[in-house]
Amino acid sequence: MTQLLQIDPETQVAAGVQRSVFRHPTDQTKLIKVLRPETSRAARSNFNGVMDRLFPSTRLRQIRKEYQEYLRFMLSLPTPDYHVPISHMFGFVQTNLGLGGLTERIVAPDGGLGETLAAMVDTNALAQSDLALLNDTIHRLFDSGLRASDLNAKNFVFGQRYVADTLGARDCVLVDGFGDIHAIPVRSMTPWSNHVALSRSCLKLARNTGMTWDNKRRVLIKA
């Protein structure tokens, strides 16, 4: 029988709508995402909240779509050393809190977790160099044909990535929100429809962060 990996609930570092994120107890390069119990989630009156209540399996569908997109994306990389704009995923592990998904940890200069775009905007800490990293990541999302359904400011994280146990250069990484989770999978139909959807997501991201979206150049411009 496989021994459960013991996660201390006090090591939780983030919480999304569907999953809580914890530090890995023995591996500093990884985080663990665990599906949140239904009782711990606030009731939502929007479409997704109603679907969750009426059809609980939709929660699992969203996670399945994320992993499917990661696999599709990684198998279609143009070169083995391609600069991947999303966080890496490393399969699953049984934990005392439920099945956990292993994911890449983005590291801040002080050794903590990397800072989200949302936090940097809130504290007016987004420098032009950070904006350049963000726009480079957005360019790679378009160029690679990644299907992303939730480009919100909390899903972009700035920090360093581990490369063979060594921290690399500062980067901007999309850590969540990829996969075509919608009932009508427009993003999966054609590259053109995916680009249109990405452009709309970037426009929404710009509005929510007080920036401007230049669709022709595909860049965010800080006001």
Mean pLDDT of the chain: 89
For the chain, give every domain's residue range. 9-222
The mean per-residue pLDDT over the stretch 92-99 comes to 94
Please tell me the number of Cα atoms within 13 Å of 30 on its side-chain side: 18
Question: Among 3.40.1350, 3.40.50, 1.10.510, 1.20.1510, what is the CATH number of 9-222?
Answer: 1.10.510
pTM, two decimals, is: 0.88
Cα distance between residue 55 and residue 67, in whole Å: 20
pLDDT above 70 covers a percentage of the chain that reads 89
Structure token digits, residue 72: 């599709």
Quick one: pLDDT band at residue 56, thresholds 50, 70, 90?
low
Quick one: pLDDT band at residue 49, thresholds 50, 70, 90?
low
Structure token digits, residue 18: 């569907």
The mean per-residue pLDDT over the stretch 118-125 comes to 96
* Count of C-beta atoms within a 10 Å radius of residue 200: 13
Cα distance between residue 82 and residue 20, in whole Å: 29
The per-residue pLDDT for 44 is 46
Examine the pLDDT at 60 and tell me if it is beyond 90. Answer: no
Cα distance between residue 91 and residue 101, in whole Å: 6
Residue for token pair 């995916």: 194
CA angle 178, 140, 102 (to 5 degrees): 40
The string of pLDDT tens digits covering residues 158-170 is 999 998 778 899 9
Range 201-204 contact pairs with CB under 8 angstroms and sequence separation of 24 or more:
201/148, 201/149, 201/150, 201/151, 202/138, 202/151, 204/151
